[in-house]
Structure 1
Amino acid sequence: MLILGASYFFYGVWDWRFLILIFLSSIVDYGAGRLITLSRKRKKDKQATYILYTSLIWNLGVLFIFKYYNFFLDNLKMLFDIPENTFTTLNILVPVGLSFYTFQTISYTVDVYKGKISASDNLLQFLCFVSFFPQLVAGPIERASRLLPQFANRRKFNYQYATEGLRLILWGLFKKMVVADNLAVAVFAIYAHPENFSSPEIIYGALLFFFQMYCDFSGYTDIARGTAKMFGFELSINFKLPYLVKNVSSFWDRWHITLSKWFRDYVYVPFLQNKKRTQINRFNALMLTMTLMGFWHGANWTFLLFGISQALILWFESIPIKVNGTKKNVRSFLFKNPIIGRTHFILMLIIGMIFFRSADIASAWEMIMRMFTSWDIDGFDLVIGWKIGVLGILLLAEYLTRTKDHPLQQLESHYKKPVRWLVYYGLVFLIIRYGGPQEEFIYFQF
């Protein structure tokens, strides 16, 4: 009851009216799970299918109305030259975290339908599963099989969990407030007026945005996981050093892992089911999956193009080739040739980040064109100077502790109190003294 009350209070502080929506979504999917189970017991498989479709229509319908209705309406008006007053544009906010908790409930109902999990028979626990405040507004997108049973456990204070959670929170705050929010200053300057910057600065800005987004989103995930840990919950790891990879396929195995796995399990795999694994079928599956994943981020053509570009790159990396008489694919070739692989990854990453961050297609195209046509190295300016050093320290710390969950994990087993306190208070000092301008978490908008 305390967790549910805290979660609803947390969400209601933003806008209490949307508590009705999250409650209704919870009731719909809880009821769908129970009715699907009942239908299966009575051997009424068609009825179970209809219930699943009802749940999907509700969830996807809510997403469409709040997030995509105006986008489709505006494009239809433009495409068919429809008079402005023919259809009414909805003047409504997109609820924070809508895409996250909707995908969480969709996966629950689908898994119950497929028999992968049993339907929850405890409404209170299910309401907590949907609205759990640490991960409610920006993930990780948890599966019911992992998170829901944890609400059935007796709540008992665990000192080790509490201290580990606080370390995660501290590391997440450092990544978000010191690194991401300071990088945001340079990123905004470059993306706002790309015409004022040279090719090296455009490339630099795209790379900075990638690291801003990484520190922002993985910082939030650390804070969410740390907060959950203090209450005795384990949330999924969402990032595994995605900047160290040699191809885009590996990147999506390490970036926003819970979203990538969601689309793999509920879009890519079902699409290929009962189909031959030909290149054209893989291409179609990748195009559908990545386009939807891009569109998941927002109702904008730039996100669609971001998804399409990722699909094309992933398909290219899956093309079979022969190297020294051995049959391989481009992905394995890139993996075994680190210089070529990392060059390919960085170039593809830069183009992807430009599409992702730009306000519209025209801005993205201008940045890409300037990236290749304005090589005025004399005018190159680092913009944020010493803050690059802080980013370097963060990346080095993560690399050196890459076998751990995070750099501050289990410090007491390696260092005595004075050293640990120096690390903790050093990070607290950096957060208070050098925290950048207060920026909203990037993924709140999705």
Structure 2
Amino acid sequence: MDKFFTLFLIGLVISASCQTIEQQAAEIHDKVFTIDSHTDTPLKFFNSDFNIGVEHDGRKGQGKIDIPRMEKGGLDAVFFAVFIGQGERDSLGHAQAFEKAEQIFEATHSEVKKNKKKAKIAITPEDGYQLEKKGKRAIYLGIENGYPIGNNLDNINHFYDLGARYITIVHSHNNDISDSSTDKEGPEYNGLSAFGEGVVERMNELGIMIDVSHASDSAFYDVLELSSKPVIASHSCARALCDNPRNLSDDMLKAIAENGGVIQMCILSDYVKKLEQSPERIEGKKAFRKKHSNWSNYTEEERKAGLRDWYQLDVDFPPNLATVSDAVDHIDHIVEVAGIDHVGIGTDFDGGGGLQDCYDASELGNITLELVKRGYSEEDIRKIWGGNFMRVFREVAAK
């Protein structure tokens, strides 16, 4: 029996050694818990014919995420962002932003409930792992842009009760909380506002992750100095590889590592690699901005039309996109500077994210394949695809 058992073990070793790198990567991808920390998919829920339970074609402007493509791409969990574009910073503007956020939360809960056999809203880190065991997709919620908080800290409690587990404190323009990294008017507070300091404290108290993607460098450091818990950059890359103010410098990467937080590498090409775009696409985007210059005052129908036009841009004028290899260069750099325990993945699908060879959620396994090709171990990949982010999630949620 010992002889036969030995031969059996030798056979297993030989079989394993014959496994292709593609098979090895697919096996690892299937085994590890995978989470995408940032997508803008709820923007699609205001289009009445969109159902996340049905497979769509991203290359026809139909979005990058749905449950069938999550299944194909081996994506176990995702954060859907309740995105609110920056509008007027007065009582009416804040009230409208608050109402819009509530509508998006409601639409997202409703959309997921319609597909309850396949997916469920998740609240805690443990929910994600439990749903994975049941073969369901975990849908987490975040807010992109703290604008709907207005000037009322209690609104943070309200959004927490609706399921928000992180808040990206600012977006493309300064708000009442923080300076943005990309506001053309420049800094307003040289970091966080006094109200923003209260926002950080309240989020710490409630156990909501603070997202520093889009924040100015000064605001980034203000958050890290004030926060008693680790922070996240839900969709950012390394500035050393792509000099974009939305990306993080090496000093910022080191600071997040010292804070215990995590940088979620983004696959929006503008943050991955500087690429020339066709004159047709440039003109198409100019025409779009001219046509849709008053988003904050749009009716629901105008907003739907604007979103359709936005997604149609990529159909009519396909962008020149970076590759998975380009994106994983950022993971390599973040690992080198911040360490393997402080990097993850936040695609920004449906907000501009997508690569030549990872265009939508169905192709996410290509990232794992590239990681395997570069010598990352299964444990490394487990950390990158969810372990690091979920560790921070647990630490922040702990009371």
Smaller-chain TM-score range? under 0.3
TM-score for the superposition, normalised by structure 1: 0.22
TM-score for the superposition, normalised by structure 2: 0.24
More strand by share: 2
More helix by share: 1
